[in-house]
C-alpha cells in the first residue's frame, strides 16, 4: 500500500507538471524527466554516480539555443540594421533581468526545486530555470519546434519589440554611476581574446575595489563589458534597488 501511494503521488505530481507546462508553452511534453531536471536548482542538487544532478547543464544548453533563436529572429525582422543594433536588441531580450521577469510572469518559479535560503540569495533562479526549460524543449522536440515555440509563444506574446528598441539597457553606465556615487573604484579589464576574425570572442572582467565580481563574453569588447556589467548589476542586487 505504501509503494502504491508513492507511485500514485509521483504520477499525480508528474501529471500536474505536464499540464502546467502545456499551459505555459502550448504543447504536451514527451520526456518529462528532462523538464523535471530543468527545475532542479543547484542548491537542491542530488548526487548520482559521483556527479551532481541539477539544471546547470540544461541552462547552459538553453542559453545557447535561446540566443541562437533570438539572433535569427532579429536578423530576419531587421534586414537592414547593423550588427551593433542586432546585438543590443538580443541582449535586451535575453538579459537576466528580462528572463527573470518573464519566468515570474509565466509562474515558472512555483515549480523550481531549491533550498529555502537559495530563493533569497540566487536572484537569477527563475531566469536560469527558464533557460534550462528551453534546453529541455530542444532535447525533447528539436530545434525547429523550439524555434517556432519561442517566437510564437514567447517573443510575439511577451515582448514588444518597438518598446525594446527604446529601452535603455546600458548596465555599464548604470554600474559606473553607482560606483561613483558609492565612491568605489570600478575597472573593466579585457583578460582574454579567443578565436580570430569575425568569430573572435572577448572576455572582460569587472573588479570593484580590486575584488572580482563577474566575467563577460561577447564578440565585441563593448558587448563583453555590457554582459559583465549586467551580471555584476544583478549580483549586487542593484536591479532590485533601481525598481524601488
Q: Taken in order 151, 227, 135, 7, is the CA torsion positive or negative? A: negative
Is residue 225 annotated as a catalytic residue, yes or no? no
Of 59, 63, 205, 225, the active-site residue reads 63
Residue whose cell numbers read 537592414:
80
Of 59, 131, 205, 239, the active-site residue reads 131
Q: Taken in order 219, 220, 222, 228, is the CA torsion positive or negative? A: positive
Q: Where are the alpha helices (DSSP H) in the chain?
A: 2-25, 32-38, 56-77, 83-94, 96-106, 118-121, 125-141, 143-149, 156-158, 161-166, 171-181, 221-235, 238-243
Give the strand pairing for 201-208 and 186-194: antiparallel
Is residue 131 annotated as a catalytic residue, yes or no? yes
Give the residue numbers annotated as catalytic, written as ranges. Answer: 63, 131
Amino acid at each position: 500500500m505504501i509503494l502504491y501511494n508513492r507511485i500514485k503521488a509521483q504520477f499525480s505530481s508528474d501529471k500536474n507538471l505536464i499540464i502546467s507546462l502545456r499551459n505555459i508553452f502550448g504543447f504536451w511534453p514527451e520526456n518529462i524527466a528532462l523538464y523535471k531536471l530543468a527545475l532542479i536548482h543547484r542548491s537542491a542538487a542530488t548526487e548520482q554516480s559521483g556527479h551532481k544532478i541539477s539544471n546547470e547543464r540544461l541552462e547552459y544548453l538553453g542559453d545557447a539555443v535561446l540566443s541562437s533563436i533570438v539572433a535569427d529572429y532579429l536578423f530576419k525582422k531587421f534586414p537592414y540594421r547593423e550588427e551593433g543594433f542586432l546585438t543590443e536588441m538580443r541582449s535586451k531580450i535575453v538579459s537576466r533581468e528580462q528572463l527573470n521577469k518573464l519566468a515570474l510572469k509565466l509562474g515558472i518559479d512555483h515549480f523550481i526545486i531549491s533550498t529555502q535560503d537559495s530563493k533569497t540569495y540566487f536572484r537569477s533562479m527563475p531566469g536560469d530555470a527558464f533557460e534550462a526549460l528551453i534546453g529541455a524543449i530542444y532535447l525533447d522536440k528539436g530545434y525547429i519546434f523550439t524555434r517556432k515555440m519561442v517566437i510564437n509563444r514567447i517573443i510575439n506574446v511577451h515582448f514588444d519589440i518597438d518598446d525594446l528598441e527604446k529601452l535603455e539597457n546600458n548596465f555599464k553606465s548604470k554600474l559606473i554611476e553607482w560606483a561613483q556615487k558609492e565612491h568605489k573604484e570600478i575597472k573593466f579589464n579585457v583578460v582574454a581574446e579567443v578565436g580570430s576574425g569575425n568569430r573572435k570572442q572577448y572576455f572582460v572582467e569587472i573588479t570593484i575595489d580590486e575584488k572580482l565580481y563577474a566575467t563577460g563574453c561577447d564578440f565585441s569588447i563593448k558587448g563583453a563589458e555590457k554582459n559583465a556589467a549586467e551580471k555584476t548589476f544583478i549580483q549586487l542586487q542593484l536591479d532590485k534597488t533601481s525598481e524601488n
